[in-house]
């Protein structure tokens, strides 16, 4: 994780504007730093490490699902007021301390779905939250990048941004990855933007979504990767999610 410093400039000529170039980290959910919240047992934890394997060559995580017989809005990351979908999470720790809700945090995520496993109606989110163990959407306070797919061969791939329990995304069968950036600061969950990219590396569409919401009382900030359903349908046992996720989180120090 990079921390950008933006030194102030004087009037007139001014000082240098803070800037930097940093390389995003490929998320490895098996690296021992992530915990799993899955009280309803939707992840097959007999598979890999807590239900996930990581391919160091492709940079992809593969998550294996257990059966969900009866679907519910509770298992939809981008809907409802109760979040019971499974998620991997860890504290967002700076070099010298835990990140705080008052910090200015800029999180950029690139998500790239692997369409090889059999499709099912799913949503994957990756970003920042107040507390991943909370099931109330106003206590979890999640925001970040989003991928969703309706599960059918004719359904387009969609990438976008996730805020609390809603999403805005662009969709097309030609999409291969999505890039999203969210900004949170001074207890505000803030807003997010996204760009959808095709196989030829050209951008197809873009958009944004505002939260208009402040974080609940919280002592820290966490990273989160969550998996849920596209709608209120079921999940067949053994269903897979294979995806490469890259993340770059910047905490701006104003003084």
Burial pattern 55-87, b for ≥16 Cβ within 10 A else e, equals: eeeeebbbbbbbebeebbbbbbbbbbebbbbbb
Q: What is the structure's pLDDT at 197?
A: 98
Q: What is the structure's pLDDT at 20?
A: 67
What does the pLDDT look like over 161-190, one tens digit per residue? Answer: 999 999 999 999 999 999 999 999 999 999
25 pLDDT more than 50 = yes
> Would you identify the CATH topology of the domain 25-252?
Jelly Rolls (2.60.120)
Q: Which structure tokens are listed for 198?
A: 């095709």
What does the pLDDT look like over 28-66, one tens digit per residue? Answer: 999 999 999 999 999 999 999 999 999 999 999 999 999
Q: Which structure tokens are listed for 154?
A: 């004719």
What is the C-alpha separation between 225 and 141, in angstroms, rounded? 13
For the segment 202-225, the average pLDDT, to the nearest whole number, is: 90
The strand ranges marked E within 27-133 are 35-37, 52-55, 60-64, 87-91, 104-113, 122-129
Q: What is the DSSP letter of 6?
A: -
Q: Which residue has the higher pLDDT, 17 or 204?
A: 204
What does the pLDDT look like over 221-231, one tens digit per residue? Answer: 999 999 999 99
């Amino acid at each position: 994780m990079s921390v950008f410093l933006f030194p102030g400039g004087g009037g007139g000529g001014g000082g240098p504007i803070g800037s930097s170039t940093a390389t995003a980290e490929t998320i490895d959910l098996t690296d021992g730093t992530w915990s799993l919240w899955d009280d309803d047992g939707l992840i097959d934890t007999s598979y890999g490490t807590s239900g996930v394997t990581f391919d160091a060559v492709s940079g992809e995580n593969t998550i294996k699902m257990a059966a969900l017989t009866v679907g519910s809005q509770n298992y939809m990351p981008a809907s409802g007021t109760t979040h019971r979908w499974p998620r991997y999470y860890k504290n967002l720790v700076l070099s010298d301390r835990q990140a705080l809700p008052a910090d200015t945090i800029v999180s950029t995520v690139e998500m790239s779905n692997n369409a090889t496993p059999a499709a099912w109606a799913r949503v994957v989110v990756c970003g920042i939250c107040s507390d991943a163990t909370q099931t109330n959407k106003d206590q979890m306070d999640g925001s970040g990048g989003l991928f969703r797919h309706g599960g059918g061969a004719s359904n387009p791939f969609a990438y976008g941004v996730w805020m609390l329990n809603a999403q805005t995304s662009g969709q097309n069968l030609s999409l291969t990855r999505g890039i999203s950036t969210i900004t949170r600061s001074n207890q505000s969950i803030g807003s997010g933007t996204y760009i959808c990219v095709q196989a030829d590396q050209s951008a197809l569409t873009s958009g944004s979504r505002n939260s208009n919401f402040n974080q609940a009382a919280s002592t820290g900030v966490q990273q989160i990767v969550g998996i849920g359903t596209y709608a209120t349908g079921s999940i067949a046992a053994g269903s897979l999610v294979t995806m490469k996720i890259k993340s770059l989180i910047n905490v701006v120090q104003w003084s």
